[in-house]
Structure 1
Amino acid sequence: MPKYSFNDFYEIIQKLRSKDGCPWDREQTHDSLKTCLIEECYETIEAIDNQDMKNLCEELGDILLQVVMHSVIAQENHEFTLDDVISEVSEKMIRRHPHVFGDVTVHNSEDVVTNWEKIKQVEKKEGTIADEIIRVPKALPANIRAEKVQKKAAKAGMDFENQEQVFSKINEELNELQDAIKIGDKSIINEEFGDVLFSVINLSRFLQLNAENSLTNATNKFINRFVDVFSLAERRGQNLCDMTPAEQEVLWREIK
């Protein structure tokens, strides 16, 4: 099996984008590839979670494909080149690691993170915490974005003092959601439901948990139990759709 270099790969993508290349690849734009980039990142994370190194190698290649494809498209549009991408990220790594490439002294990883954030603020010209919050990407998954916003607000002193206050806020938001449901206004229900979720994210932060991972694990647990319940019902000649909620609960508890 031949071994290809990075330059070989770059030329392959250029060929695909050329007039003699692939019709689908030629049609792609920065916008059309957004979903592909997101999907490839999630597939890479799943490979890591599964500790599947063979699949991880493949998925990292798919992410590299996205990077090179966007770079080739940008070069065609006279926006920037792949060399610009590599040069900029190299400069950033040197600039944000003054303890490695400069004369700054750090004692632990916390010092590194603190310096990183300070340097980033200067780079992004974020003069205030409000500027930082505004710049939190809207395209982030909602759980992750909420946590980032909350952490930045906490830096300005806007935070709960303890877990009890967070639980109190969650209960407050749940009561407001129940009141909204009684009123029946869909827009208000949607707003209050969002407030409940935002408060729960705050709790995950106080518990030092990753809400995204917690929800993923809970979903996986539900899937596994559902499959087991479904299989158990089939073995007993039962159909979940024909069963009452109480009968389904019996099977669920049996599996649990």
Structure 2
Amino acid sequence: MKDRTDVEFKHYKSLDTIIERLRGENGCPWDRKQTPETMMIYLIEEVYELAEAIESENHDAICEELGDVLFQLLFIAKLFQEKNHFNMEDAARINAEKMINRHPHVFGDVKVKDTKEIRENWQKIKMKEKNHSAQKSILESIPANLPALMRAYRVSERAAGTGFDWDNISGVMDKVEEEWAELKAELGKNGDGKRTEEVSLEFGDVLFTLVNVARFAKIHPETALTDSTRKFEKRFKHMEEAVSAAKRKINETSRSEMDQLWENAKVEVKN
């Protein structure tokens, strides 16, 4: 990288200025050819990297990934600004108006009892807004491309907000048992492997019902599964290290020995 004076470096500290330069006539050919559709993919990737950084609780990584997400957002806004559709200030203004409107208990004189009532009011206000008022279903505004567990949680939460819900977590657990029995029955019919679609649907029913268990337990299934997967990874890597220390490979280890290594990993790697 060429040396730059402090004055020149300060000039490029503005992300907006950097993006203008990248998109300019003498800028970067790669940046110049980007579209909102191509940048959307990079934004999604950066958001996942930010989520991973937050999970790690590494403040330096969180700071860096936040900056990457911000850059992607500003870049996308610049693409629309170039076509005279809107700019980032317009987006910020619209969002500010929305947030004020959806928090009448903070910016108005509405009284609320608890967070449950806040969420109910939020949804009522949201459905009255221009871009939601024409919707025929309260589920329409849930993005179709959300990860499956996140979308299942949002769908069940939205439906429950209408009163279509179990009375308590015991009712949901009974439903889990019912769905589990149906999955076992379908698996029993699948001896020839021709009923995979039916098995898949029953398996999905089990997962969806478990999502509702998570909702009643006030945890998020996406976070819970992420934590459990990370715990499994740590324990499996611990097994691999133990095998490697004996100068062997994991796939050459007997099942009984792997079971014992796994039990050791459970003791030594708690979470």
Q: TM-score range by the shorter chain?
A: 0.7 to 0.9
Runs (4+) of structure 1 exceeding 4 A deviation are 1-6, 106-111
Matching residue of 2:202? 192
Which of 70, 76, 101 is equivalent to 1:70?
76
Offset of residue 107 of structure 1? 5.4
Equivalent-residue separation in structure 1 for 2:175 and 2:115 (angstroms): 33
2:3 equivalent in structure 1: none
| Residue 45 (structure 2) pairs with residue 39 (structure 1) | yes
Distance 2:212 2:111 in 1: 33
Contact 2:22 2:28 in 1 (8 A): yes
CA distance in 2, matches of 1:176, 1:198: 14
Q: Structure 1 residues 98 and 155, CA, compared in 2 at 3 Å: closer, same or farther?
A: closer
Aligned to 1:164: 170
Which blocks of at least 5 consecutive residues in structure 2 are unaligned?
Answer: 1-5, 267-271
Partner of 1:252: 262
Distance between the aligned counterparts of 1:28 and 1:92, measured in 2? 30
Judged with a 3 Å threshold, the aligned counterparts in structure 2 of structure 1 residues 5 and 121 are, in CA distance, closer, same or farther, namely farther
C-alpha displacement of 1:195 = 1.3
Distance 1:103 1:166, change over 3 A: closer
SS at match of 2:166: coil
Deviation at 1:106, TM superposition (A): 4.2
2:228 aligned partner: 218
2:233 partner amino acid: I
- Select 1:19's aligned residue among 20, 25, 29: 25
- How many angstroms apart in 2 are the aligned matches of 1:156 and 1:93? 23
Correspondence for 2:213: 203
Q: Distance in 1 between matches of 2:99 and 2:171?
A: 40
Shift of 1:151: 1.4
Quick one: distance in 2 between partners of 1:52 and 1:254? 28
1:115 paired residue number: 121
Matched, 1:92 2:102: no
Question: What secondary structure, in the 3-state scheme, does the structure 1 residue paired with 2:137 have?
Answer: helix
**2:181 aligned residue (169, 175, 178):** 175
Q: Secondary structure of 1:33's partner?
A: helix
Partner of 2:253: 243
Q: 1:150 to 1:87 in 2, by over 3 A?
A: same
* Of 55-64 and 153-162, the range deviating more from structure 2: 153-162
Q: 1:216 to 1:4 in 2, by over 3 A?
A: farther
The whole-number CA distance in structure 2 between the counterparts of 1:106 and 1:44 is 33
Please say if residues 132 and 141 of structure 2, whose CA atoms lie closer than 8 Å, have aligned partners that are also in contact. no
| C-alpha contact (below 8 Å) 1:18/1:26 kept by paired residues | yes
- 1:23 Cα deviation (Å)? 1.2
Q: Report the Cα offset of residue 116 of structure 1.
A: 2.3
Q: Provide the alpha-carbon RMSD of the alignment.
A: 2.4
Q: Is the CA contact 1:126–1:132 (under 8 Å) kept in the aligned structure 2? A: no
Instruction: Check 1:9–1:117 CA distance in 2 against 1; reply closer, same or farther (3 A cut).
Output: same
Contact 2:120 2:161 (8 Å CA) reproduced: no
2:144 to 138, 142, 157: 138
Q: 1:69 to 1:127 in 2, by over 3 A?
A: closer
| Consecutive unaligned residues in structure 1, runs of 5 or more | none
CA offset at residue 108 of structure 1?
5.0
